[in-house]
Amino acid sequence: MGCGGILRDDKRVACALFSERIEARGTEMAKIIAIKKVMDMYIRSSRKAHVPLIIGYARLLLRNG
């Protein structure tokens, strides 16, 4: 299974991207892992600029193999 996401600024410009294979048991765990990764990216980048954090969930694509 994989997860990915985009960290955007307040003008919706992409600041960081991630995509990787993960070991998750089900879609809920994949969502939690993706949110955790975005939070880590946000915390690291927020030292440079103070922008609000808004987490939006668009879709989940599952692929085995």
Query: Considering the domain boundaries, does residue 51 fall inside one?
Result: no
CA dihedral 33, 54, 60, 6 (to 10 degrees): -80
Which domain does 6 fall in, by range? 2-45
Query: Considering the domain boundaries, does residue 52 fall inside one?
Result: no
Q: Going by C-beta distance under 8 Å and a sequence separation of 6 or more, which residues neighbour residue 22?
A: 1, 2, 3, 30, 33
The answer, as to whether pTM is greater than 0.75, is no
Query: Considering the domain boundaries, does residue 54 fall inside one?
Result: no
Query: Considering the domain boundaries, does residue 26 fall inside one?
Result: yes
**What domain count does the chain have?**
1
pLDDT in tens, the chain (65 residues): 677 777 777 788 887 777 778 776 777 887 788 888 878 877 877 666 666 766 666 655 444 44
Q: Going by C-beta distance under 8 Å and a sequence separation of 6 or more, which residues neighbour residue 9?
A: 15, 49, 51
Query: Considering the domain boundaries, does residue 64 fall inside one?
Result: no
